[in-house]
Structure 1
Amino acid sequence: MILVYKNANIFYTDQGKGTAIVLIHGFLENATMWDEIVPQLTKKNRVITIDLLGHGKSDCLGYVHSMELFAETVEAVLKHVRIRKCILVGHSLGGYISLAFAKKNPHKIKGLCLMNSTSNPDDEDRKKLRIRANKMVQNSFESMVKMAVSNLFHQDNLIKFKNEIAIVKKEALQTSLQGYIAANEGMKNRLNTNHVLTDNSFKKLIIIGEKDPVLDCNTSLEEAKKTNSQFVVFPDGHMSHIENIDELKVALKEFVKSI
């Protein structure tokens, strides 16, 4: 389905009945990343998936997609489908957006799951990497996107999940060049949102990859303890919905059930 927000088409899906669960994908992904998860969750819940600005079938809205702007579009979809309270599950970039949404609308949150994500801001090295990537991608979009996808998996899994990675790369290439740059700019500029976790009483879960090449496991564990968030640690990388799909299904099912 399509919602027009500020003259931009926002694609979303709406399935099932019950407690509303909103699944928010990561950078260079789209709603299809949840295809293995949705059938399980819709057995007892209403599940919304959204293509973020500049990703999948959704348009861009300017040249910087801040976390707050992304969150506005999520809010617009939820208002459109008349959802007042929900459980948010955000993968990577989707987690940053979930935090921005929760900061503005804490009363609308029943639970928040950061999946391979963090409430910490980018450090200086990560900011420099994003600046460099945004320059390079303008000349070599396809190769940069494919490399970025490969870098999200633990190295030992590149052969094991060869077919799945090929599909992820194909979906990633649906992201527009403008969408790539605008999201990277937004992520680079985002602020520390530890307080969103510490200051609110809704249920919180952080899903951590022990060998995540993007987010250091020990730093994530410290964050979970500092923000009084529940956490689970999976044995692999940044792409838990592929590398640790069985463990993820169990963790999400238990988290939803606990709310």
Structure 2
Amino acid sequence: MNQIQHKNTNIFYTDSGKGTAIVLLHGFLENQKMWDAFMPEFLTKNRVITIDLLGHGETECMGYIHTMEDNAEAVHAVLIQLRIRKVILVGHSMGGYVALAFAELFPNMVKGLVLLNSTSRADSEERKVNRDRAIKAVKQSYVNFISLSIANLFCEGNRERLVNEIEIVKKEALRTPLQGIVASLEGMKTRIDREVLLHLTPYPKMLILGEKDPVLPYEETKSQIKETQVQLVTFADGHMSTIENQTEVTTVLQKFFKNI
């Protein structure tokens, strides 16, 4: 793990391999370790950067709210430190929101974009209310909130099959401080709609979804790429395609990287 200081905040990242630079951005309650299983394959032909987003993993909290733009600027600071000019961004869930913010703020640095179990759309009013409920819940019972939140990311049919994997995800999630959780929920709640980027940007884009995603309704999420050139990949499982469909995701992403 390496670190830089950005706006008086220590940002932790890894940088390995050679080739086209790939930036892997984890989701809410995750950290850069979620990509460990993918690294051996990705490093065969690419330079891979993983980053702990604000208030996650080893990276410190920056304030009461971590906007997607705040996170994107932290990612940018890492890339400037590494003197990397162009990258392919892969963002899981909240990491996808950060990738979109980065693509809007630094369009000339983006070579390709993958939204993995993510969406370009802003929260609905219902989702905003649910974010507020989540903030209240985590303040009342931190451990219970994390345990329920993680289990509910997997489709129902996988919760028994992947019980060991789910426990590992929970263990990593428990490393996320309360402030980091609340700040991220506030940031996701207030993020803006960036669907226009899927329609108007010139670089290759891919959307990976789970048909039984408990978080993102499949048909509704799929509709954002209607009449676009965005490649759609669908799996029959939930929100955690990186675990529920790990082998297939690895293959799909490697092919995407190769074709850019």
Cross-structure match for 2:85 = 84
SS in structure 2 at match of 1:17: coil
Q: Does the 8 A contact of 2:28 with 2:93 survive in 1?
A: yes
Cross-structure match for 2:7 = 6
In 2: Cα distance, 1:127 partner to 1:23 partner: 26
Q: Does the 8 A contact of 1:21 with 1:48 survive in 2?
A: yes
In 2: Cα distance, 1:30 partner to 1:227 partner: 31
In 2: Cα distance, 1:129 partner to 1:220 partner: 18
Alignment of 1:1-259 (within 5 A): 1-259=2-260
In 2: Cα distance, 1:9 partner to 1:146 partner: 27
Runs of 4+ in 1 over 4 A off after TM superposition: none
The amino acid of 2:31's aligned partner reads N
How has the CA–CA distance of structure 1 residues 121 and 75 changed in structure 2, closer, same or farther, with 3 Å as cutoff?
A: same
The amino acid of 2:79's aligned partner reads L
Q: Does the 8 A contact of 2:32 with 2:51 survive in 1?
A: yes
The amino acid of 1:187's aligned partner reads M
Calculate percent identity across the aligned residue pairs: 54
SS in structure 2 at match of 1:218: helix
Tell me by how many angstroms 1:226 deviates: 4.0
In 1: Cα distance, 2:214 partner to 2:126 partner: 14
The amino acid of 2:243's aligned partner reads I
Q: Does the 8 A contact of 2:209 with 2:218 survive in 1?
A: yes
1:97-152 C-alpha deviation (Å, 9 max, x unpaired): 00000001111111000000000111111110100110121121111011110110
Q: Does the 8 A contact of 2:128 with 2:189 survive in 1?
A: yes
Q: Which range is displaced more, 216-225 or 194-203?
A: 216-225
Gap regions ≥5 residues in structure 2: none
Q: Does the 8 A contact of 1:194 with 1:227 survive in 2?
A: no
SS in structure 1 at match of 2:4: strand
How has the CA–CA distance of structure 1 residues 100 and 178 changed in structure 2, closer, same or farther, with 3 Å as cutoff?
A: same
Q: Does the 8 A contact of 1:22 with 1:89 survive in 2?
A: yes
Tell me by how many angstroms 1:224 deviates: 2.0
Q: Does the 8 A contact of 2:89 with 2:99 survive in 1?
A: yes
Tell me by how many angstroms 1:52 deviates: 0.5
Q: Does the 8 A contact of 2:198 with 2:225 survive in 1?
A: no
CA RMSD of the aligned region, Å? Answer: 0.8
The amino acid of 2:65's aligned partner reads V
TM-score, structure 2 length as denominator?
A: 0.98
In 2: Cα distance, 1:210 partner to 1:137 partner: 28
Tell me by how many angstroms 1:197 deviates: 1.7
